[in-house]
Amino acid sequence: MLDGVWRFQPDPFGEGEAFGYVASDFDDSRWREAMVPCVFDRCGEGMQGYEGAGWFRRIVNFIPADWSGKRILLNFGAVNHHATVWVNGEQIGENVDGFLPFSLDISKYLRPGSRNSIVVRADNTRRAGDVPGLLRGWRPFGGIIRPVTLVASDALHLGRIAVTAGADGAYKIKVEVLNERETEAITQTWVFLRGAGDSMAMPNGQGFGERPMAPGKRSRLTLDGQMENPALWSPDSPTLYRVIVELHEDQVGVIDRREVTFGFRTIGVENGHVMLNGDPVLLIGFNRHEDSLTHDMCANPELARQDLLRMKATAPQGGVNFVRLCHYPHDAGTLDICDEIGLLAMCEIPLYWWGDRDEDHDVKRENAKRQLTRLIERDFNHPSVLFWSVSNETNESLDAVWQGNAELIRLAKSLDPTRLATHVSNRWTRTPHFEEDDVLCVNDYPTWGGRQWGGNPSLSAEEASKRWRVNLAKLHEQYPDKPIVVAEFGYPAIAGIAQGGIGEEAQAQALSAELTDILDAGTFMSGATVWCWADHPWAEDNWLRYLTTSPFGVVSRDRKSKKGHEALKTVLGRRPSLLLRRPDLNDLPALSLPEGYTLRVGVPEDAEGLASCLQKAFPEMTWTPENATNWLLTEPSVKTVFVIEHDTQIVATASARLLPEEFPGSGYIHWVGGDPEHRGKRLGYLASLATLQEFVRLGCQDAVLHTDDPRIPAIKVYLALGFRPDNWHATHPSRWGRLRHVLGERL
């Protein structure tokens, strides 16, 4: 590791090379000290908000003598945004893609056993045509923002390893081997697959390509196999496997070894839903910037873990399962955490507000294609990655922009056909261009926008949020076969301010109303992602009266919860009842009671017996004779109450109800319950069957009922009576998907 103390010098006028900063013997003793990784802002007094060039120097004296003749890589986790690197006074390479790792072979420039200088010029100056370019929605921190390492290996070595593994147990492992020696080599690979207590070894007896392997040769091997009954990766059960790849050379043994973690799972789109392992999944989560009070934009694995775990805990029943890592490649360690704890992720390149400034579209598109390729190659093996996002809030009224988005989406699909590709649009109500997208990802801020940009500060959150239902329905009509995910919705609140237009109460009201309307929009909704998790620094422009920290987080920058976070917990804790429908009332089975039981219609004198029976069936409620009378025996919508008796005691009941406004032409089965002491007699089934027969007499066309996820025995009864799921809420498809694993073929 080369993290730690480096020397730092700002260079706002670009004088560094003229002053000799790159020379191996340059005297940097009067430069500041900086603890790498770090951003410019942490490199001493007066650097806050700096945009320009900054120089980092490090003297390395500990290169082992036995590294002579080896391939030595200088690895950077990320340097923002442009980096130029010198070793012992020689320029060895550049990188123009901030946020992404790069490696430089410095074998020819190092002096093992001697003094070596490493010099990095980092530059976060905004440039037209870059990705990101002149505009961005976050503070453009510059510096060496992720770890720096020196690694030695043989010049004959493993390259990229890519693993795909589906829910059916089929897997494919692609391995590269590179011979960067000046001589030929004879190679052999061994691949080991381990996980979930199973282990099997799969030796490749054919080697790579030619034997011997010529100098400069890059060989590729694909191993196909089948794992029987693998444990699948999902947010509920994030099972991980490990592949071990060993590269052998004849008469030498193992000369390179790599481990890759992956998961068996399948991603797709079916009937307008995002599918995971064959089941619909509703994506609920947060946008997260890579930022903290102590590290700014540098990687902070401890805080990332805390954030992601707190996100999941917002809805303990599994409601939060998704994070958008906005708007640039985050540290790969964050995805390791997502893999481990079970959070699906959207990964994105920083193609941001493209078209809002006059830039060279061809240059920008090529830079974006390169970054997208590098992002996919880096994060390909993470099972948590669900979407590749190619851009955010671009000006799709320009042909060059929307066509560029489409080209990038096609590129993502060609590089990785196992995942979904998308772009995130804030112009979807005016100029929608989603022809190439697998999923429609959209942003809007109806409450905040209506109050601030719309000039209506008294606009209520409930009124503003109706815009979601209207516009989402229109979008669904345009693209009926594509899932819709709200990638951003939110409202700002300054932490600790209770009232007013930018207080925590206003944020709580807006988030609650908007999330409710998004989920109520229809079953075509596949998710909603809050903007955003935590307050973070943004560009120091007049976006909100020159506030330098974005207040849109549901937690403050120091991770204290706001009222908006608590409001989300309340909304996500509400689970609208499941709806079941019997499509007709034909072919009802005959009703046959077990010996000793009788069926009759309930009368007012049954209030006490009904209350007693229903209290046993629903102990979480309080049933009294008054409740039984008011809710069942005298309620006008309840046409008939059936009771089943045993030895004059009411032991089961079900009611036939009509709700013509909500369910025109349908019968509604109401309050089915039975005494647990009489379990096994199919009394719930028989009481429900009696109501179905009553609906025939009442002239109903079909029958419906509500139930809840934990009521598995009751759901089994309804399925046996011919009922089937009838989804009406965005949460329903994914909930039935989970129940399918319990109910099996009944669904």
Kindly report, residue by residue over 676-687, the tens digit of the pLDDT: 999 899 999 999
Q: What is the mean pLDDT of residues 649-659?
A: 96
- Asked if residue 539 lies in contact with residue 138, where contact means CB atoms within 8 angstroms, the answer is yes
Predicted confidence at residue 281, as pLDDT, reads 95
Best CA proximity match to 219, nearest among 230, 209, 228: 209
Q: What is the pLDDT of residues 147-175, one digit of tens each?
A: 999 999 999 899 999 999 999 999 999 99
Is the per-residue pLDDT at 196 higher than 60? no
Q: Inform me whether the pLDDT recorded for 210 exceeds 90.
A: no
pLDDT tens readout for residues 575-590: 899 999 999 999 999 9
Strand ranges of the sheet holding 79-80, from the earlier edge strand across to the other edge = 38-39, 143-144, 79-80
What pLDDT, on a 0 to 100 scale, did the predictor assign at position 69?
Answer: 82
Residue 579, C-beta contacts closer than 8 angstroms, at least 6 positions apart: 704, 705, 706, 725, 726, 727, 728, 732
Mean pLDDT within 342-369: 94
In the predicted structure, residue 393 carries a pLDDT above the cut 50: yes
Question: How far, CA to CA in Å, does 414 sit from each of 376, 380, 388, 409, 420?
Answer: 11, 13, 12, 9, 11
pLDDT band for position 205 (cuts 50, 70, 90)? very low
Identify the band that residue 697 occupies on the pLDDT scale cut at 50, 70 and 90: very high
pLDDT digits (tens, 9 = 90+) for 416-433: 999 999 999 999 999 999
Query: Lowest-confidence range among 234-248, 301-315, 384-398, 534-548?
Result: 534-548
What was the pLDDT predicted at 207?
Answer: 47
Predicted pLDDT at 213: 80
Of 692 and 357, the one with more pLDDT: 692
CA distance 684 to 644: 9
Phi, psi dihedrals of residue 643, rounded to the nearest 5°: -130, 145
Pairing of strands 71-76, 156-165: unpaired
pLDDT-based confidence at residue 746 (cuts at 50, 70, 90): low
Query: ω into residue 327 within 30 of 0, thus cis?
Result: yes
Q: Is the peptide bond before 289 cis (omega within 30 degrees of 0)?
A: no
Q: Which residues contact 282 (CB under 8 A, 6 or more apart)?
A: 321, 525, 526, 527, 730, 731, 733, 734
The residue with greater pLDDT, 740 or 213, is: 740
Q: Domains, the chain, ranges and CATH? A: 4-153 (2.60.120.260), 156-262 (2.60.40.10), 267-573 (3.20.20.80), 578-728 (3.40.630.30)
* Band of pLDDT at residue 318, cut at 50, 70 and 90: low
* Cis-peptide, bond into residue 316, ω within 30° of zero: no
**Partners of 218 in the β-ladder:** 178
Query: DSSP per residue over 31-90, as a string?
Result: SEEEEESEEGGGSSTT-TT--SEEEEEEEE----GGGTTSEEEEEES-EESEEEEEETTE
Reply yes or no on whether the pLDDT at 488 is more than 80.
yes
Q: What is the pLDDT at residue 307?
A: 97
Q: How does the average pLDDT of the chain come out, rounded? A: 92
The predicted pLDDT at position 211 comes to 65
562-578 pLDDT, tens digit per residue, is 999 999 999 998 889 99
Nearest to 165 by CA among 380, 361, 465, 420: 380
Query: Quick one: three-class SS letters along 265-281?
Result: CCEEEECCEEEECCEEC
pLDDT over 90 for what percent of the chain?
A: 78
Q: State mean pLDDT over 217-229.
A: 86
Predicted local distance difference test score (pLDDT) of residue 206 = 44
